[in-house]
């Protein structure tokens, strides 16, 4: 835009030079119409463009001069020396105004002097009282239209001239514009299509009846047709208003509608009515009205009936469609449902122990209802994640322009639903990750070009369902992570051992280690790592996981896997010694036995042979330092953790369990491998294990050589 303004200044400069020449020539030949026109056009262009580029002072002033020359052009004034003097002064004043920065105070006095001088030259009657460049622009739909609160139904007949297509107007897009105003029913009329030998292919012979219910006024409808009103036959009639006291759902009879439209004469109507058949059929049978016209009238009848019916039910219907509820009330509901689930578990336990079939039946019924209640309650809190996405678009826009980078944002899956609390808690981590992508991931435009990439970088934000989780992907096509630098730094920090063979993914994961970020050098070299441990903590808090993929020079992809809800999960209840633990069911594949024999055969390594596949396992008993008697036969719960099969050895598998997740609170926030707690049917507390973190901490211990 700045460039266009600069060009305008240049152009205006040239026009002023031309103006000067013309004026001087005009002094020699004051009668030369061509010269007068040239002066007028120069003024006109300076004015018109001036207003467009924000030079309001120029536009206002030039308008006055232009008005005078318009009169000269029309022979209402003659060119005099005084006029030429003033016009030359005007030229100088415009040149001065051009030099003033937009928006700053300008010295108006020379201009006012010139204008009053010019006005004196004008014959009294001819001078308009006040000049103005305020040109009413066309009425654009949605801009000047004041919304009416009352809904009205309109009958519109839109009959374009046959040449509408050759004028570049697509009648269908006009009808679509009408549809955008409200609820519309459209019926096309074909009765004017001529015989094939008379038909001109480029012509439009169709016309349309539109019944439209809208809260926007008649002007909004007219605005749709603004460019074609002169060469179309457009009839707009009000046929129903919401203010009508008559709440009757019924509407006019078909015949009355057709007569009102002029498609049928009252006499013809009477004649047909005498025949005592279905009126519409008769009209068509008799060839009085075309089927399309009857169809159109029927549509109107249906439409208005529908509108009136809806209006009659409006108060209830609106209430049922959606209600606003304070979030804390929903939270309370979820808490109550949570307690209900706990009590129901107890009930099931007691009923099974009692063995009374009636009691068991009731308890099963309660279980079914509780599950439904739980699902419904959790569903209430589900919101599409899209609303957050739009906020990030803004972030990308602001931040990229601040940094002088060219970055587009693409989003995908905005309608993916997640628990309200989860969405709220995702905000900060996402801001962090996206900031990092923009700040360190995407290179400067020159660097991108040099690397043979388009100068525009792209940050992609997507969400999709995956089982009981949502995958959120943040991808950039920037420089990617520097594997070696991260590895070196992680070794230096003692996060990984120098000899350990670890995958790229695991190396990239180091950027989430606390303290990793503080090294400014790594940040600038690797392009990542500013406070990423905060992200990690946020995602852990949501029982989610993060994975990083990166290709040097091509970009980085960060994937967040987030559980759908924070409140209640399906899980497996297990026992070790006297303590109960809960394992989230989603990742669990199967349970197998582990005998003393098996342990002996594995020669001290924690590996189990499951149908020929070797699966490493973590003996939770030892890991948790539970010291009481170990049973003869233990159970391995086999889970799939990010594609790795791992077993968790427990004493005994109790069974599936509906787990209401409770926070362990601040005090236990740093405990690794335990993501929360739940209350069992008997009132005791069981811990919820985070199998992913357990695996990770065991791996770290092994890497550290313990």
d(CA 100, CA 93): 11
Q: Which is nearer to other proteins, 231 or 428 (CB)?
A: 231
d(CA 513, CA 534): 9
Question: According to CB under 8 A, which residues from 284 to 313 bind other proteins?
Answer: none
Question: According to CB under 8 A, which residues from 251 to 270 bind other proteins?
Answer: none
Best CA proximity match to 300, nearest among 462, 134, 461, 187: 187
Eight-state DSSP code of residue 439: I
Q: Say whether 182 sits in a helix, a strand or coil.
A: strand
Contact 411, 462 (CB under 8 A): yes
Name which position in 18, 20, 27, 48 contacts other proteins (CB under 8 A): 48
Q: Which is nearer to other proteins, 309 or 346 (CB)?
A: 346
Contact string 561-580 vs other proteins (x = CB under 8 A): ------------------x-
Per CB under 8 A, the segment of 27-35, 185-193, 564-572, 682-690 that binds other proteins is: 682-690
Name which position in 16, 42, 53, 693 contacts other proteins (CB under 8 A): 53
Contact 361, 351 (CB under 8 A): no
Best CA proximity match to 580, nearest among 478, 671, 689, 462: 689
Sign of CA dihedral 443, 449, 450, 453: positive
> What end-to-end distance do the CA atoms of the chain give, in Å?
65
Name which position in 50, 462, 479, 480 contacts other proteins (CB under 8 A): 50
Question: According to CB under 8 A, which residues from 173 to 202 bind other proteins?
Answer: 173-174, 176-177, 202
What's CA 655's distance to the chain center, in Å?
43
Question: According to CB under 8 A, which residues from 338 to 397 bind other proteins?
Answer: 338-339, 342
Shortest reach from residue 624's CB to other proteins, in Å: 4
Q: At what angle do helices 386-403 and 420-436 cross, to 10 degrees?
A: 20
Contact string 98-137 vs other proteins (x = CB under 8 A): -----------------------------------x-xxx
Shortest reach from residue 140's CB to other proteins, in Å: 4
Q: Say whether 396 sits in a helix, a strand or coil.
A: helix
- Buried b / exposed e over 360-371, threshold 16 CB at 10 Å, is eeebeebbeebe
| Residue 51 phi, psi dihedral angles, 5° rounding | -65, -35
Question: According to CB under 8 A, which residues from 474 to 493 bind other proteins?
Answer: none
Name which position in 125, 143, 267, 321 contacts other proteins (CB under 8 A): 143
Interface with other proteins: number of residues (CB under 8 A): 79
Work out whether 160 is an interface residue with other proteins (CB under 8 A): no
| Residue 119 Cα distances to 36, 115, 379, 469, angstroms | 18, 6, 74, 77
Per CB under 8 A, the segment of 335-343, 431-439, 564-572, 651-659 that binds other proteins is: 335-343
d(CA 479, CA 556): 8
Name which position in 17, 24, 52, 273 contacts other proteins (CB under 8 A): 52
Q: Which is nearer to other proteins, 53 or 516 (CB)?
A: 53
Name which position in 32, 664, 681, 703 contacts other proteins (CB under 8 A): 664
Q: Which is nearer to other proteins, 134 or 372 (CB)?
A: 134
Name which position in 141, 441, 462, 479 contacts other proteins (CB under 8 A): 141
Q: Which is nearer to other proteins, 412 or 668 (CB)?
A: 668
Q: Which is nearer to other proteins, 142 or 467 (CB)?
A: 142
Work out whether 226 is an interface residue with other proteins (CB under 8 A): yes
d(CA 432, CA 532): 7
Name which position in 673, 690, 693, 696 contacts other proteins (CB under 8 A): 673
Q: Which two tokens stand for residue 74?
A: 């029309």
Residues 6 or more apart from 609 whose CB is under 8 A from it?
Answer: 598, 602, 615
Q: Say whether 382 sits in a helix, a strand or coil.
A: strand
Name which position in 68, 345, 509, 679 contacts other proteins (CB under 8 A): 679
Name which position in 140, 238, 498, 614 contacts other proteins (CB under 8 A): 140
| Residue 252 Cα distances to 133, 298, 398, angstroms | 50, 10, 57
Name which position in 22, 62, 87, 169 contacts other proteins (CB under 8 A): 169
Type and span of the H or E element at 201: none
Q: Which two tokens stand for residue 658?
A: 């509906």
d(CA 383, CA 366): 28
Q: Which is nearer to other proteins, 4 or 450 (CB)?
A: 4
Work out whether 230 is an interface residue with other proteins (CB under 8 A): yes
Question: According to CB under 8 A, which residues from 616 to 635 bind other proteins?
Answer: 618-619, 622-626
Name which position in 101, 604, 665, 705 contacts other proteins (CB under 8 A): 665
Work out whether 662 is an interface residue with other proteins (CB under 8 A): yes
- Residue 152: other Cβ atoms inside 10 A: 22
Shortest reach from residue 264's CB to other proteins, in Å: 34
Q: Which is nearer to other proteins, 357 or 494 (CB)?
A: 494
Best CA proximity match to 608, nearest among 563, 638, 653: 638
Per CB under 8 A, the segment of 17-25, 160-168, 185-193, 387-395 that binds other proteins is: 160-168
Name which position in 88, 165, 232, 641 contacts other proteins (CB under 8 A): 165
């Amino acid at each position: 835009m700045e460039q266009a303004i600069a060009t305008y200044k240049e152009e205006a400069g040239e026009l002023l030079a031309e103006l000067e020449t013309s004026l001087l020539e005009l002094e020699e030949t004051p009668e030369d119409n061509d010269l007068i026109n040239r002066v007028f056009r120069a003024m006109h262009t300076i004015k018109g463009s001036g207003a467009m580029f924000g030079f309001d002072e120029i536009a206002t002033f030039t308008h006055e001069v232009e008005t005078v020359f318009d009169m000269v052009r029309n022979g209402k004034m003659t060119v005099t020396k005084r006029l030429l003097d003033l016009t030359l002064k005007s030229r100088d004043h415009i040149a001065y105004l051009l030099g003033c920065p937009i928006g700053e105070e300008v010295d108006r006095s020379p201009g006012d002097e010139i204008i009053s001088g010019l006005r004196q030259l004008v014959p009294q009657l001819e001078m308009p009282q006040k000049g103005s460049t305020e040109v009413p622009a066309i009425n654009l739909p949605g801009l000047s239209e004041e919304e009416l609160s009352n809904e009205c139904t309109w009958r519109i007949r839109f009959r374009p001239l046959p040449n509408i297509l050759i004028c570049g107007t697509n009648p269908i897009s006009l009808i679509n514009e009408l549809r955008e105003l409200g609820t519309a029913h459209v019926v096309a009329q074909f009765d004017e299509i001529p015989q094939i030998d008379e038909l001109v292919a480029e012509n439009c012979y169709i016309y349309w009846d539109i019944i439209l219910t809208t809260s926007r006024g008649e002007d909004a409808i007219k605005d749709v047709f603004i460019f074609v009103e002169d060469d179309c036959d457009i009839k707009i009639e009000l046929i129903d208003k919401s203010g009508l006291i008559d709440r009757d759902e019924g509407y006019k009879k078909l015949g009355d509608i057709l007569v009102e439209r002029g498609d049928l004469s009252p006499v013809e109507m009477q004649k047909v009515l005498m025949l005592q058949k279905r009126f519409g059929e008769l009209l068509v049978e008799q060839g009085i009205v075309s089927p399309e016209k009857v169809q159109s009238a029927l549509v109107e009848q249906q439409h208005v009936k529908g509108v009136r019916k809806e209006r009659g039910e409006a108060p209830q219907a609106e209430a049922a469609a959606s209600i606003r509820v304070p979030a804390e009330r929903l939270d309370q509901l979820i808490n109550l449902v949570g307690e209900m689930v706990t009590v129901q578990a107890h009930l099931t336990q007691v009923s099974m122990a009692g063995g009374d079939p009636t009691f068991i039946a009731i308890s099963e019924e309660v279980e079914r209802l509780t599950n439904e209640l739980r699902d419904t309650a959790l569903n209430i809190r589900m919101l599409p994640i899209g609303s957050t996405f739009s906020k990030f678009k803004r972030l990308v826009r602001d931040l990229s322009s601040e940094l002088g980078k060219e970055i587009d944002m693409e989003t995908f899956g905005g309608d993916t639903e997640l628990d309200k609390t989860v969405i709220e808690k995702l905000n900060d981590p996402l801001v962090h990750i996206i900031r990092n992508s923009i700040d360190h991931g995407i290179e400067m435009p020159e660097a991108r070009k040099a690397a043979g990439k388009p100068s525009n970088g792209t940050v992609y934000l997507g969400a999709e369902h995956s089982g009981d989780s949502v995958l959120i992907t943040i991808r950039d096509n920037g420089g990617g992570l520097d594997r070696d630098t991260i590895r070196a730094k992680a070794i230096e920090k003692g996060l990984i051992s120098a000899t350990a063979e670890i995958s790229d993914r695991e190396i990239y994961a180091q950027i989430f280690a606390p303290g990793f970020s503080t090294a400014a050098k790594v940040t600038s070299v690797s392009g990542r790592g500013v406070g990423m441990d905060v992200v990690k903590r946020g995602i852990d808090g949501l029982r989610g996981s993060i994975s990083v993929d990166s290709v040097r020079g091509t970009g980085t992809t960060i994937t967040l896997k987030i559980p759908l809800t924070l409140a209640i999960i399906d899980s497996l209840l297990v026992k070790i010694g006297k303590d109960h633990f809960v394992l989230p069911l989603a990742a669990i594949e199967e349970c197998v036995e582990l005998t003393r024999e098996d342990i002996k055969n594995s020669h001290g390594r924690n590996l189990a042979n499951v149908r020929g596949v070797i699966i490493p396992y973590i003996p939770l008993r030892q890991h948790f330092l539970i010291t009481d008697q170990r049973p003869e036969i233990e159970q391995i719960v086999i889970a799939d953790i990010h594609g790795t099969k791992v077993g968790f050895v427990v004493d005994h598998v109790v069974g599936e369990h509906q787990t209401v997740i409770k926070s362990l609170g601040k005090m236990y926030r740093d405990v690794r491998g335990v993501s929360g707690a739940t209350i069992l049917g008997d009132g005791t507390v069981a811990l919820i294990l985070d199998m992913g973190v357990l695996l990770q901490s065991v791996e770290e211990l092994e890497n550290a050589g313990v």
